[in-house]
C-alpha cells in the first residue's frame, strides 16, 4: 500500500509504503523525507518506508 505525500518542510512529494501491520492499532510512525531528511509522524499500523518517486511526476531525476 503506497501513498504519495508532500514534505511539510521542502514541499517535495515522495512515496510512503506501509510495511506489515494490520495486527496492531495505528500508531504514529516516523517517516523520513528522502529529499531533505525531515521526519514527520504519521498514523500507521505498520512500519513506514519512504522512497523517491521515480519518473516524470517530480522531475527529481535531474538530480542524480
With contacts defined by CB under 5 A, name the span among 15-23, 24-32, 38-46, 55-63 that binds Zn ion. Answer: 38-46
Asked if 36 is part of the footprint of Zn ion (rule: CB under 5 A), the reply reads yes
Question: Are 9 and 36 within 8 A, CB to CB?
Answer: yes
**Grid coordinates of 53:** 518517486
In the list 38, 42, 45, 46, the residue contacting Zn ion (rule: CB under 5 A) is: 38
Question: In this structure, how many other beta carbons lie within 10 angstroms of the beta carbon of residue 10?
Answer: 13
**Grid coordinates of 1:** 500500500
With contacts defined by CB under 5 A, name the span among 1-9, 17-25, 39-47, 51-59 that binds Zn ion. Answer: 1-9
Amino acid at each position: 500500500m503506497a501513498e504519495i505525500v508532500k514534505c511539510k518542510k521542502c514541499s517535495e512529494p515522495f512515496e510512503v509504503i506501509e510495511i506489515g501491520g494490520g495486527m496492531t492499532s495505528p500508531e504514529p510512525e516516523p517517516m523520513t523525507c528522502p529529499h531533505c531528511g525531515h521526519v514527520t509522524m504519521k498514523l500507521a499500523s505498520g512500519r513506514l518506508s519512504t522512497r523517491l518517486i521515480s519518473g516524470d511526476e517530480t522531475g527529481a531525476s535531474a538530480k542524480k
